[in-house]
Amino acid sequence: MDPLSIFRLFVVIAAAVAAVFLGVGLSTRRQREYSPASGLRTAFFFSLSGILVTFLGVTLPRMPYPSDGEIPDRVIHVVGKQFAFAISENPIETDAQWEEIASFAPPVEIPAGRLIEFRVTSFDVNHGFSLYAPSGRLVAQTQAMPGYLNRLRVRLDEPGRYTILCLEFCGSAHHRMRGVIFVR
């Protein structure tokens, strides 16, 4: 779902709500008999409920969570720690490994269009592992949580440099916490 399209949809709905409030506000210039408008309320209830149920039906199948039936083409291990990400094709289990990979390892390269599983965790506080495409769009994210492994599965179709930013506030250099991968 394109965020800019969602933004436009929101602006249209918000403008409609504002127009209704303005119209009702202006209606007080000419007084009318009070009516509880119960018929209209019932119609509003069913319309709103119907819209919400429809959106549930459309969006719930698109949840980003991994399903057991899929087998990823590649597995990438990610560990967050104040204030860097260590990213590797091999498991990262100790602070020393993390230090080595975060400081000296070359960026991981992954093939375009293949199903990649990022296994994301943290060695200290909560971090947010997010993938920004070369175009600057946020394409996927999951949390890096101490003691847990989040599995993010994604196909990255656009080749180029993907920036990883931290999207969970993690301390004084949160805005500098980043990483990079290349999609070829």
Near another protein in 137-156, by CB under 8 A: 137-138, 140-143, 145-152
Query: What span, in angstroms and rounded, lies between the C-alpha atoms of 46 and 57?
Result: 16
23 versus 106: smaller Cβ distance to another protein: 23
> Is residue 54 close enough to count as binding another protein by CB under 8 A?
no
Taking the C-alpha atoms of residue 45 and residue 95, their distance in angstroms, rounded to an integer, is 56
Q: Does 52 bind another protein (CB under 8 A)?
A: yes
Beta strands in the chain (DSSP E): 74-81, 84-88, 108-110, 115-122, 127-132, 138-144, 150-155, 160-166, 178-183
Judged by CB under 8 A, the chain residues 61 through 90 that form the site for another protein are 62-66, 82-83
Sign of the Cα pseudo-torsion (38, 42, 45, 47, in order): negative
Only segment of 20-28, 87-95, 96-104, 106-114 that touches another protein (CB under 8 A) = 20-28
> What minimum distance in Å lies between the beta carbon of 96 and another protein?
19
Among 20, 74, 90, 95, binds another protein (CB under 8 A): 20
If one asks whether residue 126 binds another protein (CB under 8 A), the answer comes out as yes
Main-chain phi, psi angles of 107, to 5 degrees? -60, 145
Is 91 a binder of another protein (CB under 8 A)? no
In the chain, the amino acid numbered 167 is L
Q: Does 30 bind another protein (CB under 8 A)?
A: yes
Euclidean distance between CA atoms 4 and 9, whole angstroms: 9
114 near another protein, judged by CB under 8 A: no
24 part of the interface to another protein, by CB under 8 A: yes
